Structure 1
Amino acid sequence: MLTLSHTTVYVLDQDSAKEFYTNVLGLELRDDISMGAEFEGAGAGFRWLTVGPTGDPTRTIILSDCAMGRDPASAEQLRSLVAQGTMGVGVLETDDCERAYRELSARGVTFRQPPARRPYGVEAVLVDDSGNWFSLTERVAVDA
């Protein structure tokens, strides 16, 4: 059986992303490790920075520098795409989208879209400190 344990979000500044994902969104810090140059393709090494939902060790987000594992030109292209806000990177699930919207807005989170009813639930769209955007979704039961 296969399952997805980690997903990557490319960020412009790992220190800023660590602050945003832990102190603003409320995820827990999992790893913050400096990996050495001995890792193939890493050049001078890289920083392994991960966060995840508190109490759920099965879901982990890698907050990756755009340069990790890339040549300088590719890293700059990726950095440019992230900075332009072109990266829709996933869905953050909540049990109350309206409440989460109010709480996160009060913490300074930028939203592209306030909560709105959709066929699958209630959805808002938030933007992280690098420009990545997430659907913030409260699922509702759908009649079969």
Structure 2
Amino acid sequence: MHEKLNRIGTIYIPVTDVDRSQKWYVNHLGAELKHLDEEKAIVDLAGHSFFLIHSNVGQTTNFVDKKGEKHFILTFEVDGEKALTDLHEDFKRRKMPVGEIEDRGHAGNNFVFADPDGNLFDVWSVLSPVFKQAQN
């Protein structure tokens, strides 16, 4: 079947302080600032544009499943267990909110971290085959 959607271009993240958030994404995640005004910042990260949108306190991208567990909306990929462990240690050194490395019963391991507004993100130690192929 031919895919109708080719790629994810932009991800919108609610933040309470645009300037603080863009600095955090740049300094902690290595994002590149592309635009900044009072209502939004645009940063490039992991091959995508993230729009950090000025929002009300308590607004996040997270959701709660039927079991009452809070979830992230996206997973970043790193290339292998060492990369995952190194990144996890780096985040801990930076005093970022970060969970423990987890074995979820599938290939690779994961951990969850949060930005200053509590938006949760996942990191997985397995690069997708499509991404690996595109890099070669």
- Structure 2 length-normalised TM: 0.70
Structure 1 residue aligned with 2:26: 22
Take 1:50 and 1:126, find their aligned partners in 2: how far apart are those partners? 20
Superposed CA offset, 1:114-137 (max 9, x none):
112230321001011001111111
What's the RMSD between the two structures over aligned residues?
2.7
Aligned length: 114
Q: Which runs of 5+ in 1 are unaligned?
A: 35-45, 67-75
Task: Note the 1:93-132 alignment, pairs <5 A.
Answer: 93-95=77-79, 96-111=83-98, 113-118=99-104, 119-132=106-119
In structure 2, relative to structure 1, the CA distance for the partners of 1:140 and 1:52 (3 Å cut) is closer
Question: Residue type of the partner of 1:88?
Answer: F
- Residue identity over aligned pairs, in percent, reads 19
Give the Cα separation in 2 of the matches to 1:60 and 1:30. 9
- Indicate the structure with greater strand content: 1
- 1:41-120 equivalence runs, <5 A: 47-53=39-45, 56=47, 59-66=48-55, 76=56, 79-82=57-60, 88-95=72-79, 96-111=83-98, 113-118=99-104, 119-120=106-107
Structure whose alpha-carbon radius of gyration is higher: 1
Moved over 3 A (4+): 84-87
CA pair 116-27 structure 1, distance change in 2 beyond 3 A: same
In structure 2, relative to structure 1, the CA distance for the partners of 1:87 and 1:52 (3 Å cut) is farther
- What displacement does 1:87 show? 6.6
Residues 141, 15 of structure 1: CA spacing in aligned structure 2 closer, same or farther, 3 A cutoff? closer
